[in-house]
Structure 1
Amino acid sequence: MEALDKKKARVASLGRIREFVFGIQDGLISTVGLLTGIQSATGSRPAVILTGLAAVVTGALSMATGSYLSTHAEKEIFDKELKDQEAFAVEEPHEAREGLLEALAGEGLSREAAYRLVKLLAHEKRVFLRTFQEKVLGLGTAEIRDPIKAAAVMYMSFVIGGGIPLLPYLFMEGGGALPSSCLLSSLVLFGVGYWKGLVARRPAFLSGLQFFAVAVGSAGIGFLAGKAFSYCQEMMQ
């Protein structure tokens, strides 16, 4: 029973894991690309730091707000659908039972076994409704996420991810900050990807390598964009 409880908790946490991984990934990739571009264009450490701090704060607020609004809208739709189906099961019990019978038969139960199960569940309204929602409508309780928790996880993960590329610029001067920022960001993203692979029970190294490649690509694009901007600025002078 303890193992099943742990499994249930793990499934319930998948939504938060998704927010966490997405927040770190988005914060880190967007920030490392921006900072690399600013550094290669201006070479100004204060400009890089101020730009990075502003990007992290505004980006985190934007992502958290978006996460809250989308999750809240999703929850409202779920709640409305659940209430509608609860009313349907009360007002049209025969059709609700037929729907559950067909769903159970479609999953491999014989119609006789499905009929006995539906008949048994019909005496327990709460259990019947939950089974109807999951089997007929495909609505599970694990899918309903708390908007405030989702926003908080997204905000913190974005701040963490966005702050990582900034660290070398805060503690280093000169040209060494840029490669250090890119390397640190790439390694952290590899670690996040590796961890995501472990959680998803997928090849962890390949998952980490995928995240690593995205970080390197983002930094490369930022560097080229910064150089192009600097070149255009020189041409205009």
Structure 2
Amino acid sequence: MAMRHKEKHKIDNIGWLRAAVLGANDGIVSTSSLILGVAASHATHSSILVTGVSALVAGAMSMATGEYVSVQSQADTEAAALETERVELQRNPKSEHHELTGIYVGRGLDVPLAKEVATQLMIHDALGAHARDELGITDAMSAKPLQAALASALSFGIGAALPLLVVVVVPQDRLIPVIVAASLVFLAILGGLAAKAGGANIKKGVLRVTFWSALSMAVAAGVGAMFGAAT
């Protein structure tokens, strides 16, 4: 018996990868920006550290909640669409067969072959065929709320912990330049790893992440310095 060949594609990673990259990136950028803003306002070292820890906890919880609600909404929408399709298959299977045939004709099959493919797939798994080819719902792309929430919270916490570690070990008089440099290095590594895991261009991934992150930190530091000078 011939062994089936199963290919592993980068797209299989998209569910957890999106949540993990978003969480880690936001953890580094938001925590670093907040630390820079507070440090630029001439706050004490202990105040900066408390601010960073608070940002880590609040941000991780916020990321988990937001990601769960967002992805759960997507999951609910998918479930409703599948239920509608299930009802239609029971009520009017001929119309659904015709619909599936039209999809395959649109993809380049001739009509007789498209009809035969639709027939065979509907015999095997009618709902699965319509979910995949009509609705675009697959196992790899389907919404997984809990997985996304946990990935976001964990990755945010890891990302936020990196600039916090800098606050702990670096003297306050050198904190701002070291935070900026370390955060950009962390973000460049993250951007490169994310691009590699997703099969994208690594250089573009690194440049995209570092540019927008540097802009965010510069704005935060500027606001902190402005309000610090005003007090």
Indicate the TM-score class for this superposition, using the shorter chain for normalisation: over 0.9
Aligned to 1:196: 194
Aligned to 1:179: 177
Letter of the aligned partner of 2:106 in structure 1? G
* 2:45 corresponding residue in structure 1: 45
Deviations 1:14-72 (A, max 9, x none): 11000000001111111111100100102411010001100110111011011111111
With 10-19 and 204-213 compared, the bigger mean Cα shift is at 10-19
Larger deviation: 200-209 or 91-100? Answer: 200-209
Choose 51-60 or 214-223, whichever is displaced more: 214-223
Question: Which of the numbers 2, 5, 8 marks the counterpart of 1:6?
Answer: 8
Structure 2: how far apart are the matches of 1:209 and 1:140? 32
* 1:119 Cα deviation after fit: 2.5
Q: Which residue of 2 aligns with 1:140?
A: 138
Aligned 8 A contact 1:166 1:181 in 2: no
Q: With the length of structure 1 as denominator, give the TM-score of the two structures.
A: 0.90
* Matched length: 229
Instruction: Answer yes or no: is the 8 Å Cα contact 2:122–2:129 preserved in 1.
Output: no
Contact 1:67–1:154 (8 Å) recurs in 2: yes
Amino acid of the structure 2 residue aligned with 1:183: A
- The corresponding residue for 1:90 is 90
The residue type paired with residue 218 of structure 1 is S
CA offsets, 1:76-118, max 9 Å, x none?
Answer: 2211211220121121100000000000000000111101212
Contact 1:134/1:140, CA 8 A, preserved across alignment: yes
Q: Which amino acid aligns with 2:211?
A: A
Unmatched tracts of structure 2, length 5 or more: none
The answer on whether the counterparts of 1:168 and 1:178 sit within 8 Å (CA) in structure 2 is: no
Following the alignment from structure 2 to structure 1, what is the Cα–Cα distance between the partners of residues 198 and 154? 22
AA of the residue aligned to 1:36: L
Q: Which runs of 4 or more aligned residues in structure 1 lie more than 6 Å from their structure 2 counterparts after TM superposition?
A: none
Tell me how far apart the structure 2 counterparts of residues 13 and 203 of structure 1 sit (CA, whole Å).
16
TM-score, length basis structure 2: 0.93
Q: Tell me: CA distance 1:2–1:194, structure 2 relative to 1, closer, same or farther (3 Å).
A: farther
User: Structure 1 residues 16, 181: closer, same or farther in 2, change over 3 A?
Assistant: same
Aligned match of 1:63: 63
**Equivalent residue for 1:211?**
209
Q: Structure 1 unaligned segments of length 5 or more: list them.
A: none
Query: Over residues 161-203 of structure 1, what are the superposed CA-to-partner deviations in whole Å (9 max), with x where a residue is unaligned?
Result: 1111111111122311221111111011101111122223222
Distance in structure 2 (CA, Å) of the matches to 1:206 and 1:136:
34
Counterpart amino acid of residue 227 in structure 1? A
